[in-house]
Each structure stands twice: as C-alpha cells, then as structure tokens.
Amino acid sequence: MSLEASVSSSRRYLPEMTQAGLTPTSPVTAIDEYQRVREMHVADERPLTIYVDSYEIVTLMTIGSHPELLALGYLKNQGLIQDLKEIKAVQVDWEVAAVAVSTFTNRDDWKERLGPRIVTTGCGQGTVYGDIMERLDELKLEPQTLKQSDVYALLKNLNAHNDVYKSAGAVHGCALCQGTEVLIFVEDVGRHNAVDAIAGRMWLEGIEGGDKLFYTTGRLTSEMIIKIACMGIPALLSRSGITRMGFNLAKDLNVMMFSRAKGKHFLVYTGAEHLQYDVELPAREN
C-alpha cells in the first residue's frame, strides 16, 4: 500500500497512545411503513472530552472508532499544538469519556486563551480557537494536474469504503487520497471529526498533503476548506454541494474544488484549468 511506502515511521517520534477505538455501530429495532419489525444498525455517538494536561479543551460527539487520532488532529487543526514532539501521551478512557493528552510543555498562557470551560457538541464539533484565519495567509497551495479518468477511478475506489454509512447511515465519510488510490478513509457522526482524525494520522505518520486529494461525502462549507487547506491539501472533492464562502475561500487559497462528484458527474468550481478532460462520455441528454 502506497501509504506505508510514503512513511518512514521507524525514525519518527511517536507519543505513547492507547488503542481504544470502539465498534462504530450497534443493532436496534424499528417498525417500517408495512408494520414490519426491522433489525437495523445505527451509528454510535459518544461524547469525548479532550484534556491537555490540566486544561479541558472541548467535548466532541464522535462515533468513537479513532479517538486518539481524533484528539491529535483536533489539536493540530485548531493550532493548539504545532509540534508532535511536545506530546508525551494520548490516553483514552471511555469510562470517563475522556482523552488525556499529556505534554512536555508548560501551558500557563492557555488560561486566558481557553477560558474556564467550553462544552461543544453541534454536528459533533464546532469550536475554533486561536487565529486560524491568520495562518491561512501563509498558505500557498499548488494544485497538480488531474485527469478526468483518474477522478472517475478514484470515485469508484471510494465506493468500497463507506462501511458505516452503508449499514447505518447518519455518518459522513472523509478520505485522504493519492492519484486514484484511497490512503485513509474515516467515517464519523461529525464530518469535522472525520477530517480531524485524518489530520491526526497525517501528523503522526508525517504524511504531507501537497500531492494528495481530499474526498468528503459532506458539504464544502468554509470551515471544511480552511481545515483541508491547513492540512496542505490542494484538491478537494465532495459528493455534496458547496457554500458561497467555501467557494470564495477555495478560490483565494488556490484549492481545486469539485462538488457533486458521484459516478461520472461532477462540477469543478475552482481550479478547472488543472483538469485534463481525457474521457469520451456518452452524448449528453440535455
């Protein structure tokens, strides 16, 4: 798998970490329109409070399958910790619904920054600390040339990956991709959690974003573009739609952006000049 090949994990610093991922779905009974009893599966949703040393940072609502990566990626994407070597350990304890991130650094300056207590849920996530918008000014993304045929091959490969969605729905899937290949696929009840878990793994394994693509089943809103840009990824595909602010940000940050990418269909909103049309499609109907 090309992911392993691109990572020289033996030389990298790794914090101590639990492996406390939980099963993402559980069975439940419903009654349908025929009055039939149906055995369904639903996605789990669990609160997980992130602590960094003595600071309570945030409570995320998560499916719980990648709690350590989620915590790491959250801290990275929020700009709260920049260097992995600052982190001593990431320890999840579901009995208290918490992940304790312990560090080597003194964080006296956080008291003012974080406030006494912030509890967040929302679509699984929502609080943005710090000055992310300022970090964006330093970003220079450079989309690579994409072939239409490769986009189609990638979309086809992505179909194999949305396990939870197929069985239970109520989740969004996100993927880190390279060429036509899916490197990492994560599903979560909060679409931002899925992005953060991928950011956590990229951070842990030293994976660069510059030659990658990001795929999401969710909508491309402003925060999505900001996160993907902070992860250094210059191309973004969504099965869903975009917002005006997402469009404006993608344009400003030089992110190539596809929406409604499904089967043979897509709409390129930004960066169309990097797309090579190399597929002969059947004559269009309208």
Nearest to 53 by CA among 106, 118, 96: 106
Q: Helix, strand, or coil here: 268?
A: strand
Residue 108 interacting with a second copy (CB under 8 A): no
Residue 96 interacting with a second copy (CB under 8 A): no
Q: In angstroms, give the least distance from the CB of 96 to a second copy.
A: 16
| 25, 44 contact by CB (below 8 A) | yes
Neighbouring residues of 147: CB distance < 8 A, sequence distance ≥ 6: 275, 276, 278
| Among positions 84, 97, 128, 139, the unique one binding a second copy when judged by CB under 8 A | 128
Binding mask 156-195 for a second copy (x = CB under 8 A): ------------xxx------------------xxxx---
Considering the complex, state which of residue 91 and residue 259 has its C-beta at the smaller distance from a second copy: 259
| Among positions 1, 32, 138, 140, the unique one binding a second copy when judged by CB under 8 A | 32
Please tell me the distance from the alpha carbon of residue 155 to that of residue 55, in angstroms, as a whole number: 41
| Among positions 222, 252, 254, 274, the unique one binding a second copy when judged by CB under 8 A | 222
Please tell me the distance from the alpha carbon of residue 49 to that of residue 150, in angstroms, as a whole number: 40
Please tell me the distance from the alpha carbon of residue 114 to that of residue 110, in angstroms, as a whole number: 6
Buried b (16+ CB within 10 A) or exposed e, 18-46: eebeeebbeeeeeeeeeeeeeeeebbbbe
Considering the complex, state which of residue 45 and residue 53 has its C-beta at the smaller distance from a second copy: 45
| Among positions 155, 175, 223, 256, the unique one binding a second copy when judged by CB under 8 A | 223
Considering the complex, state which of residue 7 and residue 165 has its C-beta at the smaller distance from a second copy: 165
Residue ranges that bind a second copy, judged by CB under 8 A: 26, 28, 30-36, 38, 40, 42-46, 61, 112, 114-129, 148, 168-170, 189-192, 219-223, 240-247, 259-260, 264-269, 272, 275, 277, 279, 281, 284
